[in-house]
Amino acid sequence: MATPFPPGERLPDRVHVTEVGPRDGLQNEPVVLATADKLALVHSLVEAGVREFELTSFVSPRAVPALADAAELVAAVRDVPGVHVSALVPNLRGAERALAAGVDAVVLFVSASESHNAKNVNRRIEASLAGFEAIARHLEGSGIELRGAIATSFGCPFEGEVPVAAVGRIARRFADLGARYVSLGDTTGMATPPLVAERIRHLREAVPEIVPTLHFHNTRGIGLVNVMQGLRLGVDRYESAIGGLGGCPFAPGASGNIASEDLIYLLDEMEIATGIALDGLIEAARLATRLMGRELPAQVSKAGPRLATHDATCTLTAKG
Ligand code: ZN
């Protein structure tokens, strides 16, 4: 059992971490990586012990040029032993492409606020949900898992507060479509610990058959605080991006997803197992930094592990 912290609380012994850097991260980066570079990054992450990837998105290549190589990338990664590959699909055409490419899971996504859904996929929420029914029917018997993702689950950059009931209603629809895992996306970093508690408690009550996954962005600097709150509530599934890749088109200069190495550092120190090695992730983050050609927002890959010691003869002194 993981060390109780705060005293008396039981945290999960083990958590599942899905790496979303190749999808959520790269989708929001100005630099478009070659498929071979993406593959090198994935291999580096696999080397560190990462087994679950949200690898890409089968959206129109015109809409998101950075992910135009979706089929090629999935085909290359699916042969890596033990790796689980999921991909976002916006519509039936995307689902057909994902199926043909050989994904393990498709992730259907919709926003919990009308304005964000309109901006993202140019559809009413209800129209998105109705479209999912056809995709679910298409996937029936294929053996491909269906997952759900709810963007703007903790707030909307256009509408402000998002009612918890709006998140619950969409989660219910995902459950009815047969999804077991539903991810709550903190698309623009508006989550706070009270909102995390409210949403998780509501889902457990209203849609007990789903297993929630938490997907935080560090836009306002409290991504890992929100993870801590999730752990206290017993949530054992999280999504993160190596290096803290990504950003947000609606919050200029904002940092991206919570960084995988910062997350694993926290979980290691809490004695929560993940199967992922921090030093390996730091290697992968260095590669990501080289490939992107810019400093990435993650912190542990810069500072090193807590007990990484320095040469005492170093002439620099810290004052304060
Ligand atoms: Zn995201």
Residues 21-43: tens digit of each pLDDT? 999 999 888 889 999 999 999 99
Q: How far does residue 187's CA lie from ligand 1's centre (Å)? A: 5
Q: Would you call 248 a catalytic residue per the annotation?
A: yes
Percent of the chain with pLDDT over 90: 82
Q: How far does residue 60's CA lie from ligand 1's centre (Å)? A: 18
Window from 102-106, 174-178, 180-184, 295-299 with minimum mean pLDDT: 295-299
Percent of the chain with pLDDT over 70: 93
pLDDT at position 247 is 72
Domain annotation covers residue 268: yes
Q: How far does residue 241's CA lie from ligand 1's centre (Å)? A: 9
Q: Indicate if the pLDDT at residue 3 is higher than 70.
A: no
Q: How far does residue 320's CA lie from ligand 1's centre (Å)? A: 36
Q: What is the DSSP letter of 259?
A: B
Q: How far does residue 221's CA lie from ligand 1's centre (Å)? A: 15
Domain annotation covers residue 9: no
Q: How far does residue 26's CA lie from ligand 1's centre (Å)? A: 11
Q: How far does residue 15's CA lie from ligand 1's centre (Å)? A: 19
Q: Find the CATH number of the domain harbouring 63.
A: 3.20.20.70
Domain annotation covers residue 11: no
Residue in 194, 179, 115, 123 with CA at minimum distance from that of residue 152: 115
Residue with tokens 């479209």: 131
The domain tally of the chain equals 1
Q: How far does residue 151's CA lie from ligand 1's centre (Å)? A: 8
C-alpha span between 161 and 164 (Å, rounded): 9
Cα dihedral sign for 57, 59, 64, 65?
Answer: positive
What are the φ and ψ backbone dihedral angles of 281, each rounded to 5 degrees?
-65, -35
pLDDT at position 246 is 85
pLDDT at position 313 is 72
Domain annotation covers residue 242: yes
Q: How far does residue 306's CA lie from ligand 1's centre (Å)? A: 28
pLDDT at position 312 is 80
Q: How far does residue 186's CA lie from ligand 1's centre (Å)? A: 6
C-alpha span between 311 and 315 (Å, rounded): 9
Domain annotation covers residue 10: no
Domain range for residue 20? 16-314
Which of 85, 248, 278, 296 is flagged as catalytic? 248
C-alpha span between 195 and 229 (Å, rounded): 10
- Contacts of residue 59, Cβ cutoff 8 Å, sequence gap at least 6: 67, 88, 90, 94
Average pLDDT value for residue range 69-81: 95
Domain annotation covers residue 1: no
Window from 66-70, 126-130, 189-193, 245-249 with minimum mean pLDDT: 245-249
